Structure 1
């Protein structure tokens, strides 16, 4: 018996959604891992895939897939809200205050965005998820570089004034 005979088109779509969520989340996590942050590929991949999974379960439990507009029901809206709240707890655990400095805020915000990417994939909004991933990677890399250059310039100008 061939595996394709055991899986329906809907099953294949769900597998594609979960795999896409995992890949997009892990791509965000690669940058965080390279930067030495506490949440890396596994965390981001699991958050994104888990968010997509909960949306998919909500859709299936409320009657299944129809048109894209018919997918968003009261129960799926509640599941989406619960995902966002739950991710807030994970994000709060990533934020630390030590020696008058706050750290982990960008990683926490990234986890929150990763959940949004997973939610978008769960609802089938692939382009939204891909572009959000690209934008988040831009913030993690290019904006980080720009921000550090600004800090360096600010410190140089402070030294010149003394």
Structure 2
């Protein structure tokens, strides 16, 4: 049985974990940063906690029906996909905002997991998300510099011919 105190703790944890994921986006001056990630994670947790409370209260034989919390979870994924899609921009031959959109999607998943009471999985998911965004950005930057250096070297060789 999910108490109101436990529900509030889940909301707070989801918000904090979403903020941890959004912190790097904020430092990188991206459109969806700290507050956006926090709100997405909190919103997802609210929907999950709410659906679990509804299932708990109204899935009794005397209530006359069953409520499936996973149905609300699937609508969270759809709604957040729409939100993330709005963050992806294309300019000429470049696409921007994919990492931010993916971060919003992960923040929703983290919120859903916390809302459902899967704290360890949510915390590990948050840590993996942070490592992915921070460390792999550095790796991408190094690969990009190496790639550009290689293209310039090949360009110079053909100019000399």
> TM-score, normalised on structure 2?
0.87
Listed as ranges, the gaps of 5+ residues in structure 1 are 1-8, 65-72
The structure having more radius of gyration, on CA atoms, is 2
1:105 is matched with which residue?
A: 98
Specify the alignment match of 2:60 in structure 1: none
Report the equivalent of 1:60. Answer: 53
Q: Across the two proteins, how many residue pairs are aligned to each other?
A: 146
* SS of residue in 1 equivalent to 2:117: coil
Q: Which runs of 5+ in 2 are unaligned?
A: 58-65, 156-161
State the SS of the aligned residue for 1:17. Answer: helix
CA RMSD of aligned residues (A): 1.3
Report the Cα offset of residue 99 of structure 1.
Answer: 2.4
Match of 2:159 in 1: none
Question: What do the CA deviations read for 1:83-121 (whole angstroms, capped 9, x no partner)?
Answer: 000001100100001122100011001100100000100
Q: Answer yes or no: is the 8 Å Cα contact 2:54–2:67 preserved in 1.
A: no
Of the three residues 142, 146, 156, the one matched with 1:153 is 146
Query: Helix, strand or coil: the match of 1:97?
Result: strand
TM-aligned CA deviation for residue 140 of structure 1:
0.8
